[in-house]
Structure 1
Amino acid sequence: MHSIDSISTETQTRQLPLAEFIVLMALFTALIALSIDAMLPALDIIGNDLNSTSPQQNYLIISLFFVGLALGQLFFGPFADARGRRLTILVGLIIFMCGTAVCYLSTNIEILLFGRIIQAFGLSGPRIASMALVRDLYKGDAMARVMSLIMVIFILMPMVAPLIGQFVMFWLGWRHIFSVFAVVAIISATWFFLRQGETLPRANRVKFSWKNFSSSIKWLLNHPVVMGSTLGMGTIFGAFLGYLSASQRIFTQIYDTGTYFPLIFALLSFSIGAASLFNSIMVMKLGMVKLVKWATIMSVVFSFCLLASVVVYLDKPPLWLFILIMFIGFFFIGILFGNLNSLAMEPVGHIAGVGAAFIGSFSTVISVVIGVFISQYVHDTLLPIGLGFTVFSILTYISVMYAIRHKQ
């Protein structure tokens, strides 16, 4: 009888068809999106049921999830390089299921928030391992294309997740949203372990040591392409996270859209999905560097347009105008999401696990700080959203141009 370790780290030589590989990797990232976005319609109800002290505390149900992701990536990055990709996914999903149980059984908001951190800590295992799997098998523009195709499927989840959350909450209650998470995790794990082999041979594994870890981190910190891309990813996603955390308040309270919130959220998510599909086609023709340059500049233009509309209309532009500007802006941001990650990962093939952990956790910490800061000021005005996108898209431009200059 095989041990868990031998089963999970067994090297299999078969290569999955590209389409199946992309869908399988996207399923793990989609589980992260589902765990975030399905909660959005339920934030106020959860807060009321669990005696939350303020709407801002409800936002932590979203924001603290990213804290768990950042912490988990620091652990699972070295783990993935030392023990392989399959065991990383197995351990991560077990932790995720434990966190899901804590959330389901929670009796106050503090316990639920603790469970959310455990959930995210666990999901960082599949996230790191899936990124490392892609890097093990692809590089350069081909890797950017695969990442973009994964993002297409990944973005489908934010389009439907709030609808799923609202449907489950209406018929079964908000606690069963966590039951849905558990079912998706089981399906993902079963598919993965039946079909996808290990991509990191035992001979290429790096035994964990603090010396190797610290030297790897030092190398990453001194690599201009890695750092510039990671900082850019953190700042632009921070502005996006500020919007994401406050999105329920923006649409249901500031704009009073009621039950239409999931549909509007899906429409804006579609823009990012369309960008990822566009990128998967164009990246092989133009290259990710050219696309990143173009998308970074246009993200700055979008941010100024958003801020101008907020100022002109005294903190609240018409709903149609806000949606139009955000839809166009999210298209350019969607191009950045997949490409910046690929740009940062390209130089780190020899330490893909630690590299993915550093890039993911460092960019996530930056984005959480920015996102929490912005969302705390969203009450009856969209000015924090406009200012946030403007300031941090400019910082993204500076960071990304620094990375590209050193790549060339």
Structure 2
Amino acid sequence: MTMQPVPSDRRTLILTLGALSALGAASIDMYLPALPSLAEQLPGPVGGAQFTLSAFFLGMAFSQLVYGPLSDAIGRRTVLLGGLLLFVLASLACAMAESIPQLIGLRVLQALGAGVGGVVARAIVRDLYRGNQAASAQSLINLAMLVTPLLAPIIGGQLLTRFHWQSIFLVLALLGVTCIALTFFKVDESLPPQKRTTTHLTTLLGGYARVLGNRYSLGCILTGAFAFGAFFAYLAGSPFVFIEIYAIPAEHYGYFFSTNIVGIMIAAFINSRVVLHAGPLLMLRIGVCIMTLAAIVLLWSASVPGQLWHVVVPLFFVVGSIGIIGANAISCTLQPFSDIAGTAAATFGFIQMLIGALVGTAVGLLHDGSARPMCLVIAVMALTALGLCLSLIREPRKGTE
């Protein structure tokens, strides 16, 4: 029987798991204000700064598939410490990058390290807690992941203004060292050797085939992934739109970014109440419709001369709709797969991050010094999500997969 930590140890453990889960978000959001500076100071192709964001998404995509089975086979702590060490070394190397192509490669390694936090933290919660305690622990971890995008861009903007872009990666390395110390001293091994399992490649591939072969789940995965693609286009393009086009100081970019994160939190709160009556599928459709309408308005606003608020207002609804879409897309994806929920979740995460990598590359390739590339990619992603939602997703019959 698994021993439960005493309350004080439980609080420390949950805070540690929250910090581990937030590592990926911090690595993305803290350096967003520095993207224009990277483009100016490091030699590389036009739009290459956005490619560094795509590289991070690519690394995160593959980390979704690796760390879960690996931690099931050799234990949680070993995998955590190994991934965190990779993150620290890669972050230090990023600070010493001398060109955009170098930084692209190093960001892949940094993401492979950062990805360990979220995957293994969820596994530890499953090991230690059940029922309401598990839900409570996961809610606190999710709170840390929401707070991070509120603070990270503001911190990154201040570091960029007071020091230089390299300081952002040094702070991330310090955060990684802190996570290593917390893991070493506060996180005990939660998966004893007798409970460890080795998942064979054929079993894994069979699970992924089951998920992708289910029309309902595939529709939910692709709808959610393309909707997140719109959000990733915002991540890749908004630093240039706000800082270069609308002349927002880099240290103030984080405040605009945080406003949209508040929109996600408000939408998530509304969804948590309404979904109990409306159901996740209807809420998913509503969220995608809101995003698509806002994306069309955003694209029109970028096509005509206008003021900053003409872009900020529709962006608020595009980004805020993620608070409705995200939870319901993953909930509907997992619905037919109670026996391989982890595999279904990993498939969702992999495709989501893979599309993020492609979207960041597209925004970089289309970069023309205006807001149009970002707004165009957002609109294409939203319209694609809507089309997939309407064409692929039908309410599954009870008792069928």
Give CA deviations for 1:373-393 in whole Å, capped at 9, x if unaligned.
134324243333333333322
1:365 alignment partner in structure 2: 354
* Structure 1 unaligned regions, length at least 5: 1-9
Counterpart CA distance in 2 for 1:82 and 1:407 is 36
- Please tell me the residue identity of whatever aligns with 1:394: L
Tell me how far 1:171 sits from its aligned partner.
3.0
How does 1:124-139 map onto structure 2 within 5 Å? 124-133=115-124
Counterpart CA distance in 2 for 1:182 and 1:348 is 38
Q: Is it true that 1:174 corresponds to 2:165 in the alignment?
A: yes
* Structure 2 unaligned regions, length at least 5: none
- Please tell me the residue identity of whatever aligns with 1:303: A
Q: Secondary structure at 1:175's aligned position in 2?
A: helix
Tell me how far 1:206 sits from its aligned partner.
3.1
How does 1:124-203 map onto structure 2 within 5 Å? 124-133=115-124, 150-192=141-183, 194-195=185-186, 202=193
- Aligned partner (choices 14, 21, 29) of residue 21 of structure 2: 29
- Provide the identity percentage: 26
TM-score normalised to the size of structure 1? 0.83
Q: Secondary structure at 1:122's aligned position in 2?
A: helix
- Aligned partner (choices 339, 363, 383) of residue 394 of structure 1: 383
Residues 197, 224 of structure 1: CA spacing in aligned structure 2 closer, same or farther, 3 A cutoff?
farther
2:255 alignment partner in structure 1: 263
Q: Is it true that 1:381 corresponds to 2:370 in the alignment?
A: yes
1:304/1:390 contact within 8 Å kept: yes
Q: Secondary structure at 2:302's aligned position in 1?
A: helix
Give CA deviations for 1:331-364 in whole Å, capped at 9, x if unaligned.
2122212332343345555445544432211221
Equivalences, count: 393
Q: Is it true that 1:406 corresponds to 2:396 in the alignment?
A: yes
Counterpart CA distance in 2 for 1:294 and 1:172 is 44
Residues 348, 197 of structure 1: CA spacing in aligned structure 2 closer, same or farther, 3 A cutoff?
farther
Counterpart CA distance in 2 for 1:26 and 1:20 is 10
- Please tell me the residue identity of whatever aligns with 1:377: L
Tell me how far 1:286 sits from its aligned partner.
4.8
Q: Secondary structure at 2:238's aligned position in 1?
A: helix
2:309 alignment partner in structure 1: 320
Give CA deviations for 1:99-153 in whole Å, capped at 9, x if unaligned.
112212323333222211101011122222234455665789x96x976764443
- Please tell me the residue identity of whatever aligns with 1:368: A
Counterpart CA distance in 1 for 2:185 and 2:341 is 24
Tell me how far 1:64 sits from its aligned partner.
0.9
Q: Secondary structure at 1:208's aligned position in 2?
A: coil
- Please tell me the residue identity of whatever aligns with 2:150: M
Give CA deviations for 1:193-234 in whole Å, capped at 9, x if unaligned.
555565656555431322222222222222334322221222
1:76/1:357 contact within 8 Å kept: no
1:78 alignment partner in structure 2: 69
1:295/1:333 contact within 8 Å kept: yes
2:95 alignment partner in structure 1: 104
Counterpart CA distance in 1 for 2:7 and 2:164 is 39
TM-score normalised to the size of structure 2? 0.84
